[in-house]
A and B are shown apart, each in its own frame.
Chain A
Amino acid sequence: MPWIDACATDDIETEDLIRFDHAGRTFAIYRSPEDTFFCTDGLCTHEHVHLEDGLVQDFEIECPKHNATFDYRTGEALRAPACVNLKTYKTRVENGRVQIDI
């Protein structure tokens, strides 16, 4: 798959995320406290609520609905009620743009 242009690096605050929709799918793109970028599926694996309103703390994203927590670098589900890991995608930064490999 080609790299998909998602957003400018400045579109995401440090320690935060944005939603990115592409070709009928929805993703979450994160900027870590170290200003590195990560991408996961946009919907929580518990009840498919979008993570865009969730809370990023360090390298974790907390779902806004029931506070399930995932490591957004690996997608690992860290806290109930989510048991299924989030899918992750590779990212890279080119000329101030975040690109994702889906």
Chain B
Amino acid sequence: MTKRDYSLLGDDARRAVDSGLAAAEWYHTDVPRKTMKALMTRSDQPAIRDTIILFGAMIALAGIGIALWPSWWSAPFWLAYGTLYGSAMDSRWHECSHGTAFKTRWMNDALYQIASFCMMRNATTWRWSHARHHSETYIVGRDPEIAVMRPPAFIKLVLNFVGVFDVAAALPRMVYNAFVGVHPEEKTFIPETEWPKVVRTARIYVAIYAATIGLAAWLGSLLPLMVIGLPRLYGAWHHVMTGLLQHGGLADNVVDHRLNSRTVIMNPISRFIYWNMNYHVEHHMFPMVPYHALPQLHETIKHDLPAANRSIAEAFAEMWPALVRQLRYEDFFIKRVLPDTAKPYREDFHAALAAE
């Protein structure tokens, strides 16, 4: 068993490049071009509807929260508001980073900027890091977005349900970017021409947080921070819960998303918050398909995929014991069974890579 080195500048990173894994061709289910074109077609209407619902709900919930503040009766409203801020914004950030949410580019970009700010992610940096996550999903040393590293750090996992580690990493990085510049690790995946944008974005974020903290101090009340900033903590739980399921307990260092990603059938509220990213194998295999077409894509290719988990609870029941096992056996992963109608995994290729 070899120890994994998740650093983008470390040994595993070098090995992934040397073995050809970093540049490998990923598996795709065959879908006729005509069908795929129809699935990829963009439209503004579903995302405009969802964005109106999202912002409408956020304004209403925060309004009630403020009206009832500081009574405990405001708590459920903050929790709901926070979940939209600290979790729904994660999926908006994600979909807009692909440019697939809307047909109209400026709408995508506007929502992307707002969502990036809410999630405390530098809008420029993360666009690039997410591109890397797609090129090299769960390839150790190459993917900067591995949520569960092996062996899993359980304390970190659990505390991140309230965003603690994310925010503890995001804030110093924001300040570093604003006052020092682009971090060396970020330089491995952000082209130099974009560095000034990273710094500018960080400065804008710092200014907004400083103003919010200033207002809170001036009012002598937490209230401004309940609206901006803190919901990234108290509302993070849903995106962490769904995010863990994306790849948790599955294979790493493979070039087939059926082996390293998980599709979970979810309830409609979670699907709204998560913007259909529960169809995660489908999304990774075909990132050009917009979120609203993913259920249809799922129907189109499910004959070639392992069966989806039928609920969040069922998926956790599958994943959690695997994570626990990885504490002792870092190389353990769940290998999901393909239906008879599917093309088999390319065992020979993966075995050869593993032997490198």
Contact = CB atoms under 8 A, between A and B. Distances in A.
Contacts of A67: 98-100, 287-288
Interface string B25-46: 0000000010011001010000
Interface in B275-297: 286-288
Contacts of B37: 16, 55
Interface string A50-73: 000111010000101111010000
A65 B99 contact: no
B193 A83 contact: yes
B238 interface: no
Interface string B69-109: 00000000000000000000000000000111001010000
| Residue in A54, A62, A66, A78 with the greatest tally of chain B CB atoms within 10 Å | A66
| B interface bracket (residues with beta carbon within 8 Å of A) | 20 to 34
A36 B289 CA distance: 26
Interface string A72-97: 00000011110100000000000000
A65 B287 CA distance: 7
B336 interface: no
A61 to B, nearest CB: 11
A55 B99 contact: no
Contacts of B40: 55
A83 B194 contact: yes
Nearest to B191: A83
A35 interface: no
Considering residues A46, A54, A79, A80, which has the most beta carbons from chain B within 10 angstroms of its beta carbon?
A80
A21 to B, nearest CB: 17
A11 interface: no
Interface in A14-43: 16
Contacts of A47: 135
B99 A62 contact: yes
A55 B100 CA distance: 11
A98 B147 CA distance: 48
B127 A80 contact: yes
B134 interface: yes
B238 to A, nearest CB: 25
B131 interface: yes
Given A53-B36, A83-B194, A46 B99 contact: no
A64 to B, nearest CB: 5
A65 B191 contact: no
A64 B283 CA distance: 12
Contacts of B194: 80, 83
A65 B134 contact: yes
A79 B99 contact: yes
B132 to A, nearest CB: 9
B36 A66 contact: no
Given A62-B288, A64-B288, A67-B99, A81 B36 contact: no
Nearest to B192: A83
B316 interface: no
Contacts of B105: 78-79
Contacts of B33: 16
Contact of B128 (A57, A62, A80): A80
Given A67-B100, A69-B99, A83-B194, A57 B42 contact: yes
Contacts of B127: 80-81
Nearest to B100: A67
Contacts of A46: 131
Interface string B121-162: 000000110010011000000000000000000000000000
Interface in B314-329: none
Contacts of B287: 64-67
Given A53-B36, A67-B99, A81 B193 contact: no
A28 to B, nearest CB: 14
Contacts of B36: 53
Listed from nearest, the 5 A-B pairs whose CB atoms lie closest are A66-B131, A81-B131, A55-B40, A67-B99, A67-B98
11 contacts: A16-B33, A46-B131, A53-B36, A55-B37, A62-B99, A64-B288, A67-B99, A81-B128, A83-B191, A83-B193, A83-B194
Interface of A: 16, 46-47, 53-55, 57, 62, 64-67, 69, 78-81, 83
Given A64-B286, A81-B128, 17 more contacts: A46-B131, A47-B135, A54-B288, A55-B40, A55-B42, A64-B287, A64-B288, A65-B135, A67-B99, A69-B99, A78-B105, A80-B127, A80-B194, A81-B127, A81-B131, A83-B193, A83-B194
